[in-house]
Amino acid sequence: MKSVILISRVLLGLMFLVFGLNGFLNFIPAPPPAGVAGQFIGAMFVSHYLSAVFALEVVAGVLLLANRFVRLALTILAPILVNIVLFHAFMAPTGFAPAVIAVALWAVVFHREHTAFAPLLAAKGAS
């Protein structure tokens, strides 16, 4: 099980480091999506929102690869993954497979760290 967690953490870290850096350096060219997905990506690009997302992806990827602050990296990646899945589910279903793979890798690493997140799932706060 340790090797599965290690492989998942490294693959997840590499995935977000590479795609985060690609957002800045554009070394993996891809055609812009058409329709509503293209308009959505265009608006996020023009507003520089994507720059913040790419920076967070790079930070989380480096943290996962360095095996430092893994819980912080998982916390950073959770909302990014939700947005990636929702984007592909509603606007660009052709790229859904990598999103599912990323969520699966995240879930494996999260399962290893789930005890740290247990207080977030408590029904009541501390009184």
- 18-75 pLDDT tens trace: 999 999 999 999 888 899 999 999 999 999 999 999 999 999 999 999 999 999 999 9
What pLDDT, on a 0 to 100 scale, did the predictor assign at position 121? 83
Domain boundaries, the chain: 2-119
pLDDT in the model for residue 127: 67
- pTM for the whole thing? 0.92
Burial 44-75 (b: 16+ CB within 10 A, else e): beeeeebeebbebbbbbbbbbbeeeebeebbb
Predicted pLDDT at 91: 94
**Mean of pLDDT over the chain:** 95
Given a cut of 80, whether residue 125 has pLDDT beyond it is no
